[in-house]
């Protein structure tokens, strides 16, 4: 069983990503077929929420917790069939969904609290194979903010003796947006290096090359191959702007399994 931390700032789409992972049982790539099976109550519950919330044209509220004990744990079995007549392989992943504020406070030296300390210890445990880090913004000042967080995160990796063996899958989420979709095929160059150059340079410089990969992912996907408009619309929710599906029957997430497969298999 591989333990994976899914982390990222506020509104980067972590909970919606996990919901899609739980609900979209079958995801087909060019040469691999993935069957995703929720294994515990939290995973089955978020799958139901995906059906009852996302598939009804509504959005998830931001993750909020008052104590470590209330954090949900998600466990999935992912079966992979590469080609016909080749034996299926499978792996199990365990996730914990932390609020984005916890990740953002890494750069604050006096931000420690019970959840913050639990978050840091969770990320750097010896049985954690890697972290999926979701980023979604690049407005003015964002690159500098992300860079400060990543620098501190890498310092913590080193102090916990994980600098040499912890894999980092760094993903630009919400890549269904028109300004991002065309860069999805080479995300390191066309998304990260272009929009978050300081953060990208820090990761390239301080992380062993074999332990880092850059990805573009989209929980909502686009409408269809010949109509690459985002299959989502933004509207005002209870806690600010929220994204919802535009056409529910055409819901097809993009590339949500690839970073998990690499984190587990290398």
> Rounded to whole angstroms, how far apart are CA atoms 174 and 254?
9
CB 212 within 8 A of CB 220: no
- Helix 41-52 and helix 14-23, axial crossing angle in degrees, nearest 10: 100
Residue 265: other Cβ atoms inside 10 A: 12
Model confidence, pTM: 0.88
Q: How far apart are CA 159 and CA 154, in angstroms?
A: 9
The pLDDT, as a whole number, for residue 252 is: 87
* The pLDDT value given to residue 84: 65
Task: Work out the average pLDDT over 179-203.
Answer: 95
Looking at the structure of the chain, the number of domains it has is 1
63 in Cβ contact with 14 (< 8 Å): yes
Q: Is the pLDDT of residue 238 over 60?
A: no
Q: Are 90 and 59 in contact, with CB atoms under 8 Å apart?
A: no
Following CA atoms 80, 81, 82, 87 in sequence, which dihedral angle do they give, to the nearest 10 degrees?
110
Q: Give the residue numbers spanning the domain of 210.
A: 2-265
Question: Is residue 217 pLDDT above 90, yes or no?
Answer: yes
Indicate if the pLDDT at residue 27 is higher than 90: no
Q: What confidence score (pLDDT) does residue 163 get?
A: 94
Ramachandran assignment for 8, one of left (phi > 0), alpha (psi -120 to 50 degrees), beta (any other): left
Using an 8 Å Cβ cutoff, are 144 and 188 in contact? no
Q: What mean pLDDT comes out for the span 171-190?
A: 93
Q: Over 60: is that where the pLDDT of 210 sits?
A: yes
Mode of pairing for the β-strands spanning 89-96 and 128-135: unpaired
Is pLDDT larger for residue 25 or for residue 258? 258
Tell me the two tokens of residue 46.
């978020």
* Residue carrying structure tokens 């880090």: 133
Residues 45-99: pLDDT tens digits?
Answer: 888 877 766 776 666 666 565 555 677 788 888 888 766 666 777 888 888 777 8
- Between 46 and 255, where is the model more confident? 255
> Taking residues 17-34, what's their average pLDDT?
68
The SS3 assignment for 100 reads helix
- Minimal CA–CA distance to 103: which of 95, 92, 111? 111
β-bridge pairing 222-224 and 232-237: unpaired
Mean pLDDT for the chain overall = 83
162 close to 154: Cβ distance less than 8 angstroms: no
**So what's the pLDDT on residue 78?**
85
**Tell me: the pLDDT tens digits for 97-138?**
778 888 888 887 665 677 788 888 888 999 899 999 999 888
Token pair for 242: 């929220």
Summarize the confidence of residues 241-259 as an average pLDDT: 84
Kindly report the CATH number assigned to the domain that includes residue 143: 3.40.50.300
């Amino acid at each position: 069983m591989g333990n994976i931390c899914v982390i990222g700032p506020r509104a980067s789409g972590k909970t919606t990503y996990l919901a899609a992972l739980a609900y979209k049982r079958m995801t087909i790539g060019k040469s691999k077929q993935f069957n995703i099976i929720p294994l515990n109550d939290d995973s089955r519950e978020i799958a139901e929420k995906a059906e009852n919330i996302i598939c009804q044209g509504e959005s998830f509220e931001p993750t909020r917790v008052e104590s470590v004990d209330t954090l949900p744990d998600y466990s999935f079995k992912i079966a992979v069939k590469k080609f016909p007549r080749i034996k299926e392989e499978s792996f199990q992943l365990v996730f914990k969904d932390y609020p984005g504020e916890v990740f953002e406070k890494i750069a604050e030296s006096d931000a420690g609290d019970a959840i913050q300390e639990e978050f840091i210890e969770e990320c750097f445990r010896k049985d954690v194979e890697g972290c999926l880090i979701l980023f979604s913004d690049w407005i003015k000042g964002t690159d500098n903010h992300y860079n400060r967080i990543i620098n501190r995160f890498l310092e913590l990796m080193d102090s916990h003796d994980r600098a040499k063996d912890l894999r980092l899958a760094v993903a630009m989420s919400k890549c269904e947006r028109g300004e991002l979709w065309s860069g999805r095929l080479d995300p390191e160059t066309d998304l990260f290096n272009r929009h978050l150059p300081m953060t990208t340079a820090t990761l390239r410089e301080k992380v062993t090359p074999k332990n880092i990969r850059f990805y573009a992912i989209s929980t909502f996907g686009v409408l269809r191959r010949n109509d690459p408009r985002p299959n989502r619309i933004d509207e005002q929710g209870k806690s600010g702007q929220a994204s919802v599906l535009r056409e529910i029957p055409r819901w097809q997430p993009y590339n949500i399994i690839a970073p998990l497969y690499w984190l587990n298999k290398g």
